[in-house]
Amino acid sequence: MKSSKYQARKPDESGFIEYTEEEHETWSILYHRQIELLKGRACDEYMNGIEELAMPSDRIPQLDEINQVLKGKTGWGVARVPALISFDSFFKLLADKQFPVATFIRVREELDYLQEPDIFHEIFGHCPLLTNQDFADFTETYGRLGLAATKEERVYLARLYWLTVEFGLVDTSKGLRIYGGGILSSYGETGYALDSDIPVRTAFDPLAALRTPYRIDILQPLYYVIDDLSVLHRLCEMDIMALVHQAMEMPLLPPMFEPKPQEGAA
Q: For each of the domains in the chain, give its residue range(s) and CATH number, in order of start.
A: 21-249 (1.10.800.10)
- Is 126 flagged in the annotation as binding? yes
Residue 244 pLDDT > 80: yes
- Is 32 flagged in the annotation as binding? no
At residue 183, what is the residue type? I
How far CA 133 is from CA of 74, 143, 160, in Å, comes to: 6, 15, 19
Q: What percent of the chain is predicted at pLDDT more than 90?
A: 91
Instruction: In whole angstroms, give the CA distance from residue 183 to residue 209.
Output: 17
What's the pLDDT at 261?
78
Give the 3-state secondary structure of residue 155: helix
What's the pLDDT at 2?
61
Q: Note if 24 is an active site residue.
A: no
What is the per-residue pLDDT across 39-51, written as a single tens digit (0 to 9) for each? 999 999 999 999 9
**CB-CB neighbours of 66 under 10 Å:** 22
Is 42:185 a contact under the CB 8 Å cutoff?
no
Q: Note if 166 is an active site residue.
A: yes
What is the per-residue pLDDT across 207-221, written as a single tens digit (0 to 9) for each? 999 999 999 999 999
Considering 126, 153, 186, 189, which one is annotated as catalytic?
Answer: 126
Quickly state the pLDDT bin for 1 (edges 50, 70, 90): low
Instruction: In whole angstroms, give the CA distance from residue 19 to residue 32.
Output: 19
Residue 266 pLDDT > 50: no
Per the DSSP assignment, residues forming a β-bridge with 223 are 201
**CB-CB neighbours of 49 under 10 Å:** 23
Quickly state the pLDDT bin for 260 (edges 50, 70, 90): confident
- Stretch among 79-88, 150-159, 166-175 having the lowest mean pLDDT: 79-88
Mean pLDDT of the chain: 95
How far CA 32 is from CA of 38, 41, 122, in Å, comes to: 10, 15, 16
Quickly state the pLDDT bin for 70 (edges 50, 70, 90): very high
Q: Which residues contact 262 (CB under 8 A, 6 or more apart)?
A: none
Considering 23, 45, 121, 122, which one is annotated as catalytic?
Answer: 121
Q: Select from 209, 217, 119, 225 the least CA-distant residue to 169.
A: 225
- Is 233 flagged in the annotation as binding? no
